[in-house]
Structure 1
């Protein structure tokens, strides 16, 4: 699955839930049947919260359709590189953002980060899906700027 303008997080070694696997299987079945429009709408519905306006829906629709077209034009699959990561070694401040209407996997991962990173906070946006920066750009920008304006922890 392709995640455009994504502030939601992935996690090393995370095993996808049955729900996330089902979304992926539905996406794959639609694409294998040549139904790019159906797969695109599945992703629009999956990644956006219920309050997303038509402009956000259309932006995700365009990006997702383009991503599918690019992926389908390639003759081979590409798998992400695997690397060992020690999250507890990260000293930088982190704001883990999740949307209340996102897939449970991404919400759970974001909620776990403050327990693993020395200087992490988690905020769950009650109105958001997976793409809050498209759903409410100003609110998301304000949230990020507020976090970045906070003084860095000492020590």
Structure 2
């Protein structure tokens, strides 16, 4: 198990994809009028592509057209102080091909928000990274005590 400089577990790409595929809500990060914007969205992972269904005239649809975006999913448990976070970066594109729209419409991607959602955005993931917060160490080693017995002189 690889740890980063903060002591978080570094997740392999396959684990990141598995966690993403099991999560229905994510956050897309894009630029809106030269400022960063974040919007929660329902999504589906199709292979390594992130599929988002939105309204045709939405701010999200306009802002993500041929743009580099970030996408984040996570899960945290405040009681156990554990959790994970996965971030993907890639180019977003509007789906305009009727055959691709038909294929995407058949996927089990049901929007949670009300209103018409007949526009699809595909994020081609180019970078994926993830971290897991492990369960806190309990017992005598919780405060940084060495797990080795004391040295005898």
Q: TM-score range by the shorter chain?
A: under 0.3
Higher helix residue share = 1
Larger radius of gyration: 2
TM-score (norm 1): 0.24
Higher strand residue share = 2
